[in-house]
Amino acid sequence: MKFSFSLIKKLVPGRYTKSELTEKLNLHSFETADLGGDVLEIAVTPNRFSDAASHLGIAREAAAIFGIPLKDPLEEKLKYGHKDQGVFRVNVKEKNLCRRYLASYVSKIKVGPSPKWLKEVLETCGLRSINNVVDIMNYVMLEIGQPLHAFDADKVSGGLVARRAQKGETITTIDNQKFNLDSEVLVIADAKQPLAIAGIKGGKSSEVTSGTKRILVEAAHFESANIYKTSRKLALRTDASVRFSHFLSPELPELGMRRALALLQELAAATIHPPIDVYAKKAGLRLVPFNLKKMSDLIGEHFKEKEVLQVLSNLGFKKKGKSLSVPALRMDIDGLEDIAEEVARIKGYNNLPSRPPSIALGAAQEEEQINLKNRLRKFSAGVGFSEVYNYSFLAEKEVGSRAVAIANPISSQAGFLRDSLKMGLRKNLESNKRFFEEVRVFEIGKVFSEEKGRVEERLMLGMGILAKNSYLEIKGVLDSLLTGLGIIEYELIEKNPARLEVKLENLLVGNLDLISELKNAAVLELNLDLLLKEMDEEREFAPLPKFPVITRDLSIFVPEETRVGEVLEMIQRVSAKLVNDVDLIDFYEPDEKLRPKQDRSETQEKRRKSLTFRIVFQAEDRTLTDAEADREMAAINQILIDKFDAELR
């Protein structure tokens, strides 16, 4: 949004340069860029449009930052030329869409060119000069932040009406664009036709021209969502629509009207009448309890009450007893936390001292659900599955009876939250079937269902297989998965030929289904929230060893049917206290005859294999000697000979 530096400095006179203002606004208020000449570009945040999307708002920020008094043009007293409100009426039919509407009758107006200073401000902000009446409306929008509109009073029949457009109505705007209207569009009309698209643009029929003698000035508060939707629907975006699309204060129209009438008196020699103000429900004074200690704790720095109140006073806050009154335009202030932020930013975040936290920090803990998901991803990838992410929104025909409907769906095909991962996995298998003979996918995600009037969500694991013997394969995957999680005792209960239920101690934790629409396809779904409670697992941690290790290699011949795992286990058991690790480092099972043993036949000789183990010895309380390691090796050799009929090599 473009601003005029000269107008800001007019409102906050002081010995500061444009670059200094730019720097201070960047540090304390909004991101600001110097575009050269008289132009500043300031990125006013959406929550601050009501009070800061104007030169007066930015000037108030500058005054608070520099500590310079603000020269507020609204403080000038307005004198009306007549006591009556004029010979027209205002009727607001849509009070939900138009919360407040002010209209003022202005007579004996002299339409002509605007003064140079006003034209320069408009040009700096990207607007062209039309005539003094239209320029005043635009200038007040830039200076105060309230969009206004002027109607030629002689072209208005029977007063102004804020209503919805009727089906089939059209309007031609002042830039000669024609729009078809419907009942969703709010218009300002007279007794005959729409005169303006409310909050967006005026119509050609009531345009102010050089021959205009009397006008009706409008300043209103329109419902922001309706203005935004109308602007999008008509593809008509204006400065006024952008401002009204943000939530402006209903107190702003009165300020804008006062300033516009004062300028019409000054620059157009007009006679002004008191405005008609239709305000259905006036906003009350907003108070926030003031607690200096709590505010200082929030900021992390103790301030004196006097300096805090000075900062807040410069921003428009006032002390009322034990509370602070919030400025009418500050729609972003809800509580003491927001006020503390105001004090901190004006004081300067860079000026706040750096201190360590004054509270005790708890020990970091592992999140079991995250660990479980990571383990499942690693396991699933290890057995050949690829992870997928599917949409959480489904059509009604794709979900069950307890699925949760979405209040405002983006389309009819996404009107419900998914109650299972199976539909998405089935689509994955079906779409990949064209390119691959075998497909294996898995997904970890939330599903939703309605239970006793509440929405319940569960974390699920889904696995889908498209392959020959998919049903048997996924059963094997299920067994390996549960065993790896420490769950050994579980049941698979056949409900029908196409479905198995997975139960742990009569608790249903999942099911396995054949997909009838796809040949050789099966899907497994498990409730991870329930599995997490049943996982039988403990983690043990040991300190790093302090003493060195001794390594020995052991090579033996054993019968062909001997299992390597049993040999490893036996070595560990023989010297449980001193054997730190055992690894198989070589395996050889030749086709030809091995070196014969004295009492062994040739047939028996061919059935032996060679194994080589690396054994690591280590004691927890001392450094082992070679003699101790040799004694342990001798014991291991003897037990392997006795237990496995081993022969040392």
Q: What is the pLDDT of residues 449-466, one digit of tens each?
A: 998 889 999 999 999 999
The overall average pLDDT reported for the chain is: 90
Q: What's the pLDDT tens digit per position in 283-292?
A: 888 999 999 9
Residue 119: pLDDT over 80? yes
CB atoms within 10 A of CB 468: 11
Binning pLDDT at 50, 70 and 90, where does residue 77 land? confident
Range 477-493 average pLDDT = 86
Residue 325: pLDDT over 90? yes
The per-residue pLDDT for 342 is 93
Q: What's the pLDDT tens digit per position in 392-451?
A: 999 999 998 889 999 888 888 899 999 999 999 999 999 999 899 999 999 999 999 998
Range 193-206 average pLDDT = 94
| Residues 500 and 510: beta-carbon distance below 8 Å | no
The per-residue pLDDT for 364 is 77
Residue 93: pLDDT over 90? yes
């301030």: which residue's tokens? 303
Look up the pTM and report it.
0.61
Residue 648: pLDDT over 60? yes
Provide the H-helix boundaries in 5-108.
5-11, 18-28, 49-52, 55-66
Binning pLDDT at 50, 70 and 90, where does residue 539 land? low
Range 53-80 average pLDDT = 92
List Cβ neighbours of 537 (8 Å cut-off, separation of 6 or more).
485, 486
Residue 263: pLDDT over 80? yes
Q: Start-end ranges of CATH 3.50.40.10 in the chain?
A: 90-279
Residue 490: pLDDT over 90? no
| Residues 328 and 249: beta-carbon distance below 8 Å | yes
| Residues 395 and 415: beta-carbon distance below 8 Å | yes
Separation CA 40–CA 29 (nearest Å)? 14
357 compared with 615, residue with greater pLDDT: 615
Torsion sign over Cα 228, 233, 239, 241? negative
Q: Start-end ranges of CATH 3.30.930.10 in the chain?
A: 368-534
Range 320-329 average pLDDT = 92
* Torsion (CA) 142, 147, 152, 153 in degrees, nearest 10: -130
Range 583-600 average pLDDT = 64
CB atoms within 10 A of CB 293: 8
First vs last C-alpha separation in the chain: 87
Q: Please, which residues bridge with residue 325 across strands?
A: 287, 318
Range 479-500 average pLDDT = 85
CATH of 90-279, picked from 3.90.700.10, 3.40.50.10860, 3.50.40.10, 3.90.650.10, is 3.50.40.10
Binning pLDDT at 50, 70 and 90, where does residue 594 land? very low
Residue 529: pLDDT over 50? yes
Residue 602: pLDDT over 70? no
Q: What is the CATH number of domain 2-71?
A: 3.30.56.10
Range 3-14 average pLDDT = 94
Q: What is the CATH number of domain 550-648?
A: 3.30.70.380
The per-residue pLDDT for 540 is 60
Binning pLDDT at 50, 70 and 90, where does residue 556 land? very high
Binning pLDDT at 50, 70 and 90, where does residue 510 land? very high
Range 362-369 average pLDDT = 81
Q: Average the pLDDT over each of 103-112, 215-224, 251-260, 467-476 and give the range with the smallest value.
A: 467-476
């037990």: which residue's tokens? 639
The per-residue pLDDT for 82 is 81
Range 267-281 average pLDDT = 91
Fold (topology level) of 368-534: BirA Bifunctional Protein; domain 2 (3.30.930)
Residue 591: pLDDT over 80? no
Residue 191: pLDDT over 80? yes
Q: Give the three-state DSSP class for 419.
A: coil
Residue 603: pLDDT over 50? no
Instruction: Give me the numbers of helices (H) and strands (E) for the chain, helices first please.
Output: 19, 32
Complete DSSP assignment for 310-357 = HHHHHTT-EEETTEEEPPTT-TT--SHHHHHHHHHHHH-GGGSPP---
Q: Start-end ranges of CATH 3.30.70.380 in the chain?
A: 550-648
Calculate what percentage of the chain has a pLDDT beyond 70: 96
Q: What's the pLDDT tens digit per position in 125-165?
A: 999 999 999 999 999 999 999 999 999 999 999 899 999 99
The per-residue pLDDT for 580 is 87
CB atoms within 10 A of CB 68: 16
Calculate what percentage of the chain has a pLDDT beyond 90: 67
